[in-house]
């Protein structure tokens, strides 16, 4: 069974975040892989062993759907995603902010158009034509998450919103 557009977008984001390596693409962290070179970015993994940190999980939040204003047979999905960067307990706030900056840099749009269409970041070929999986990606919120009852840093959070079009009744 073919992946839905929604799953393809999340998979593309997970793949992109797996490329976070110091010296690669101007990143200052190596969040994408662990010390052994294993990928440490996953779709909706809620827990990581302390020895696997830092690690990244991408979580989908409830998606809003609205009718497309010009194409009645299509809908526009507005899908919020939370990218959680699980950090070692000894991480400083400055290092957490650096991790947030690298994730934002990896997700940023570099599309052909100035309006944030993401052809290069998440390309897909449909009927022989190269198109972007999403029509728009926007940062929404980011910050540091602290362990319960303390101000010890547990994670960094980046929230984005992805907008994409599908036929009605499809993801």
Straight-line distance from the first to the last Cα atom of the chain, in angstroms, rounded to the nearest whole number: 13
The CATH number of the domain where 13 resides is what? 3.30.70.1700
Three-state SS at 56: strand
Determine the distance from the C-alpha atom of residue 83 to the mean position of all C-alpha atoms in its chain, rounded to a whole number.
6
User: In whole angstroms, what separates CA 150 from the centre of its chain?
Assistant: 28
Q: Domain count for the chain, please give it.
A: 1
Structural domain for 51, as ranges:
5-167
Write the pLDDT tens digit of every residue in 8-61.
Answer: 889 888 888 888 887 777 788 888 776 666 668 889 899 988 888 899 999 999
Region 68-84 average pLDDT: 89
Per-residue model confidence (pLDDT) at position 12: 84
Maximal CA-CA distance, the chain: 55
Weakest-pLDDT range from 24-28, 64-68, 96-100, 165-169: 24-28
Is residue 22 a contact partner of residue 30, using CB atoms and an 8 Å limit?
yes
Contact of 103 with 20, CB cutoff 8 Å: yes
Here the tokens at position 83 are 């990218």
């Amino acid at each position: 069974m073919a992946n839905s557009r929604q799953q393809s977008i999340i998979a593309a984001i997970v793949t992109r975040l797996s490329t976070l390596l110091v010296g690669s693409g101007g990143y200052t962290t190596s969040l994408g892989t662990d010390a052994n070179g294993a990928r440490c970015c996953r779709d909706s993994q809620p827990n990581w062993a302390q020895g696997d940190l830092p690690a990244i999980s991408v979580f989908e939040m409830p998606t809003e759907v609205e009718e497309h204003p010009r194409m009645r047979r299509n809908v526009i999905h507005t899908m919020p995603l939370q990218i959680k960067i699980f950090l070692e307990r000894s991480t400083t706030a400055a290092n957490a902010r650096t991790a947030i900056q690298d994730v934002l840099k990896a997700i940023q749009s570099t599309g052909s158009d100035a309006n944030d269409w993401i052809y290069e970041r998440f390309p897909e070929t449909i009927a022989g034509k190269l198109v972007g999986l999403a029509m728009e990606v926007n940062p929404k919120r980011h910050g540091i998450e602290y362990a319960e009852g303390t101000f010890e840093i547990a994670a960094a959070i980046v929230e984005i919103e992805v907008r994409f079009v599908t036929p009605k009744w499809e993801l």
